[in-house]
Structure 1
């Protein structure tokens, strides 16, 4: 029986009260502070001041714990809007915010199917917003938006981690690598790239995400209108 259907053990008179909610909250705190590598049943048990074996009364193992963590994050993702386009945009932006708040989330999305109650409620809102869209197109549309969000956030998080590890922000990166690009582009071997670097608007992360999402939604709209 999946964790979503399996009842919790009855309350017992023990020194430290325990529940799946407390276990998940402790795991999320560990992951927020030090990444997914910091999450283990032993470390979660230590944070809760209980023996590791006690956790197995509530979860079968780490995989279930990760599933519960993802579903807890989905509780904060509430797509809203009039029409499928607004709802999908709201979903994308809310998912991005959640993945910035919890950097580990983007690493878990897009893997195993998310079947927790909060994830299913989110999916219900998205599919319902698509209304009369052909049933065979509904999940590919939602999947395309999710794939865009996951890819964009993973790139953003990788840039943040690299900046924390090296201390190089965008300005410092440009100062160090700019002369190399100038020399390379001066060879004339990469004229298209040189024109983009020289002439295109340099967008920040928010602008880049919004513009890419617009391109995707425009493409979906054009396909659905055929």
Structure 2
């Protein structure tokens, strides 16, 4: 299968045995030097996240992380066997920031699943904005670390007991989180933080006058009207996220209601 052109790396791409041992901190620790540990897996991962947050995933390398920690590059390999495993560790670490308890809502999930699922979507939206480099990592096969599992278990709880099968629960989460990821990618590009370095407003300001002068409104009346409206809406990149999320949840609501009607 061809690699997704929007992704630089694939999550879960490291050696399974080594990655899982690292993720669950089951690997043998490196020896103590001079009476203390000069490095640890956690320190290396934290430094790698700082590099990726500041300069993007393309800037991440074992050498760059070693420089940040002021150690030799080979020292890192005592703890982390390679970049693929390091990215798995980075993902699992940042995922710990999303599985927070839901706000006070009724105990009956049938009465509040939509609010809880909205919270899941917004937590993931926020996570992608805190760590935009995540948008460059394919996670169809995520690293199976403790934080990934905890996040998944928490998110499944938002749709438990509402009439969905186990497979449907997983699919609903895939739709909602996938929408958050896609919308976040658009928003990051619109903010000028993406690869283009141009904000949505700057792009429209440059293109709209030319497009207006060449677009035959009598021939393409719908396109002309919509392009004008979209140009005005460019100042609100979160609109696509909120609109799409509402429509996805409407669809889930219709499925839940249909199950209730036949149950």
SS at match of 2:209: helix
SS at match of 1:104: helix
Q: Which has the higher contact order (CA 8 A, sep 6+)?
A: 2
- 1:126–1:161: structure 2 CA closer, same or farther, 3 Å change rule? same
2:189 and 2:249 map into 1 onto residues whose CA distance is: 25
2:193 and 2:218 map into 1 onto residues whose CA distance is: 30
Other-structure match for 1:194: 224
1:159 and 1:171 map into 2 onto residues whose CA distance is: 8
SS at match of 1:186: coil
Other-structure match for 1:219: 251
Query: Which is helix-richer, 1 or 2?
Result: 1
Q: 8 Å contact 2:52–2:133 — kept in the other structure?
A: yes
Between stretches 204-213 and 76-85, larger displacement belongs to: 76-85
User: Once superposed, what is the RMSD of the aligned Cα atoms?
Assistant: 2.5
TM-score (norm 1): 0.87
Other-structure match for 2:176: 145
Q: Which runs of 5+ in 1 are unaligned?
A: none
SS at match of 1:225: helix
Q: 8 Å contact 1:41–1:55 — kept in the other structure?
A: yes
Q: Which runs of 5+ in 2 are unaligned?
A: 1-16, 106-111, 259-263
Report whether the alignment pairs 1:4 with 2:35. no
Q: 8 Å contact 2:95–2:148 — kept in the other structure?
A: yes
Other-structure match for 1:178: 208
TM-score (norm 2): 0.75
2:87 and 2:68 map into 1 onto residues whose CA distance is: 17
